[in-house]
Amino acid sequence: MNKSFSILFFILFFFSLNLKSQQKPVKIAFLADVHFQDLYGGFSDSNFKGIENSKTRKKTILRTMDSQLHSTRIFNENYFAFLAALDDIAKKNIKIVALPGDYTDDGQAYNLRGLKKILDEYQKKYQMRFFITTGNHDPVGPFLKQGGKSDFMDENGGELSIISDQNLIKKGEKAVVTKDIAMSGYLEILNSMKNFGFGASEKDIFWQTPFSKDSYEQFNFKNALKDSEYSNRVYEVSSGFSVPDLSYVVEPTDGIWLMAIDGNTYIPKNIAGNPNDENNFHGASIGYNNVLSNKKHLFSWVEKMLNEAKRLNKTLIAFTHYPILDFNDNANSEITQLLENDKWQMDRVPNDEVAEQFAKAGLKLHFAGHMHINDTGIKKFENGKMLINIQVPSLAAYIPGYKILTVKSEDEFEVETVCIKNVPRFNELFPLYEKEFENLKAKNSKEIWNKKILRTKNYHDFTLFHLKELVRLRFVPSDWPKDFIEKASKLSGKDLLELSSGNQKLSNKSKKKFAKWSFEDALLNLYQFQSADELAKNDISKKRLEQYEVLIKNFDSLETKDEFLNQLKTFFTILGKLSSGDASDHFKIDFKKGEIVKLK
């Protein structure tokens, strides 16, 4: 009898240890940098509903095409892309959706209302649950901040200012005044979005903040609700300056812990100034580099929760707005060499210490946004640990998409990138842009955007055209050395082949093949790789990719003291690195073996 009982006990114990690995895989969708702006919303204190669209006869509150072609994000069409992505997630029957920040464009009240309405509808209709964290655009600062935008469209296709304070109107400026355009602080964000992870829910198996006292075994909804209050989530960022932290960990389904890290760090501009002055804080866009110096409690909390997850046999996945690893495929030194330190958003590249701190805490898998790119960052450490940072592409930029994480076990994961190509209604606003274009043309405005963008057939092509115009109108003038661009822009692929080949003899057949494209094509392709990683290869011909490989190899072997040739050499080194990074489309992660395997 005792022997039988011992055998039964061993079987039950063995079964409990292996139960987790036998559970059905859990799928989580990650939607980053939605930058939602409510095209069809309204203001609580103004009759302004936008301008009428001749195509739909609907009033629309939109930004100009000129403004979004100078921005790293699309302001308007991403509204439709967001709905398309949610519909796709619903079709796939995914119930857990994480949004790693910048889900609004500056957290204005009317945008928050519109976003909440959509998320509530999808939660009710499809039983989805949404979990969000803060981005540098929601909120823009720790406290409510007055402001607005001067690039909304008026009824004539010109610019209209919508601002929150009458005192901000400039002389002769046409403006709509509404408090709903003010940039929300943490209190307003929390009150609006508490049902999407920021506040505890009765549906949660477990929910906790870095400031919670209860253990997992002591968890109860009443205490968690108290912990989620604004006043219980404040820390001292600098002596005398207290700001909120909306980090939390949640168990939405048995065995899975989602850790939403608030990576925003608002450092005071003037330590002798008013700690409650919304204008006395620097922005948070630098990300984790400021967490290292002014928000260290996050690292100890992450370590504590990872130890708890291990003790309780839970799988923890972290997500933040900001990357924790290099996202330029180890091309940072070459980018800095060619463009200087303050270009290419190099200040947003996390210091090595960020990854070291998270690896030390025990973190293995992290999802991020902020950069509007598709990328996989991997760092291995001497102790055998491996840290992976997944950059989720933005729906408001090339290449538009989201990520699906399938949790198979605590050591095995699958990641798939879903590209949002066909978006219903993506061209709904084109008649309004036609009016804007004619208005700019009549004014003889300089550097008018290319009207061919209004001929694009799908949302994917629209975002690619957006990138092309962004390179022309913003990146080239602001980031690239003028002398280099002037010389390089005159070169064809044939010229580049000859310059890279040194004294090698080239056949006329080879020269003719390379002559079909120019340096400006290569520059756009460089930005495509930076934005979309391996997914960009779907938009670049196989022959062109093969020719790039020739040039990369040639320039790598070229020994020269000519400054311009060395600049071209650096350019193609960057192109080579950005086009050959780790798997970022569809792949499997095996932490036991310490490897990533590309899947078809």
The pLDDT of residue 24 is 86
**Structure tokens of 347?**
């200040």
- pLDDT for res 502: 87
Percent of all residues in the chain with a pLDDT value above 90, rounded to a whole number: 92
Place of tokens 């270009």: 343
Q: How confident is the model at residue 149 (pLDDT cuts 50, 70, 90)?
A: very high
Order of all β-strands in the sheet with 175-177: 148-153, 159-163, 175-177
Which residue type, as a one-letter code, is found at position 352? D
Q: What are phi and psi of 90, to 5 degrees?
A: -65, -40
For 393, which DSSP code? P
**115/584 Cα distance (integer angstroms):** 29
Write the CB contacts of 420 (distance below 8 Å, at least 6 apart in sequence): 81, 84, 85, 88, 395, 400, 401, 402, 459, 460
Which residues on adjacent β-strands are paired with residue 243? Answer: 235
How does the average pLDDT of the chain come out, rounded?
95
pLDDT band per the 50, 70, 90 thresholds, residue 572: very high
* pLDDT reading at 14 higher than 70: no
Q: How far is CA 169 from CA 62, 108, 505, in A?
A: 19, 18, 65
In SS3 terms, 122-149 reads as HHHHHCCEEEECCECCECCCCCCECCEE
Report which of residues 342 and 341 the model is more confident about.
342
pTM: 0.95
Residues 83, 129: Cα–Cα separation, whole Å = 16
* Region of poorest pLDDT, from 21-30, 279-288, 289-298, 551-560: 21-30
Show the domains of the chain with their CATH numbers.
24-419 (3.60.21.10), 480-578 (no CATH)
Output the pLDDT for position 600.
81
Residue 2: pLDDT band (50, 70, 90) is low
Dihedral of CA 202/207/211/217: which sign? Answer: positive
pLDDT for position 196 = 98
Between vectors from CA 461 to CA 485 and to CA 84, what angle results, nearest 5°? Answer: 135
Which residue's entry shows tokens 């209604």? 425
Which one-letter DSSP state was computed for residue 513?
H
Place of tokens 């207290």: 242
Query: What is d(CA 281, CA 285) in angstroms, rounded to the nearest whole number?
Result: 12
The owner of tokens 């600049």 is 567
Comparing 180 with 506, the larger pLDDT belongs to 180
Output the pLDDT for position 20: 47
Q: How confident is the model at residue 383 (pLDDT cuts 50, 70, 90)?
A: confident
Contacts of residue 578, defined as CB under 8 A and 6 or more positions apart, other chains included, come to: 328, 329, 331, 526, 529, 530, 533
Peptide bond into 485 cis (omega under 30): no
More confident residue, 355 or 20: 355
Which pLDDT value is given to residue 7?
53
Could you tell me how many helices (H) and strands (E) the chain has, helices first?
A: 19, 21
Cα(532)–Cα(394) distance, integer angstroms: 10
| pLDDT tens figures, 482-539 | 999 999 999 999 999 999 998 888 889 889 999 999 999 999 999 999 999 999 999 9
Q: Give the separation between CA 40 and CA 459, rounded to whole angstroms.
A: 20
Confidence category of residue 177, pLDDT binned at 50, 70, 90: very high
Residue 3: pLDDT over 80: no
Would you state the pLDDT for residue 19? 47
Helix (H) or strand (E) holding 316: strand 315-319
In this structure, are residues 404 and 588 in contact, taking their beta carbons and an 8 Å threshold?
no
Q: What is the pLDDT of residues 215-247, one digit of tens each?
A: 999 999 999 999 999 999 999 999 999 999 999
Which of 16-30, 311-325, 491-505 has maximum average pLDDT?
Answer: 311-325
Residue 469 confidence (pLDDT): 98
468, HSE (Cβ side, Cα atoms, 13 Å): 16
Q: What distance in Å separates the CA atoms of residue 324 and residue 339, rounded to the nearest whole number? A: 23
3-state secondary structure labels for all residues of 407-469: ECCCCEEEEEEEECCCCCCCCCCHHHHHHHHHHHHHCCCCCCCCHHHHHCCCHHHHHHHHHHH
Nearest C-alpha neighbor of 549 from the set 527, 522, 524, 567: 522
Q: What angle do CA 213, 214, 217 make, to 5 degrees?
A: 160
Could you tell me if 379 and 386 are in contact, meaning their C-beta atoms sit under 8 angstroms apart? yes
Residue 463: name the closest of 522, 422, 523 by CA: 422
Q: Quick one: residue 102, left, alpha or beta (phi over 0 = left, psi -120 to 50 = alpha)?
A: left
| Residues 408, 416 contacting (CB under 8 angstroms) | no
| HSE-CB of 253 using CA atoms within 13 angstroms | 17
Task: Please name which of 318, 319, 314, 306 lies closest in space to residue 410, comparing C-alpha atoms.
Answer: 314
CA atoms within 13 A on the CB side of 139: 29
Residue 372 backbone phi and psi in degrees, to 5: 60, 40
**What average pLDDT does range 423-449 have in this prediction?**
96
Nearest to 313 by CA among 216, 410, 412, 207: 410
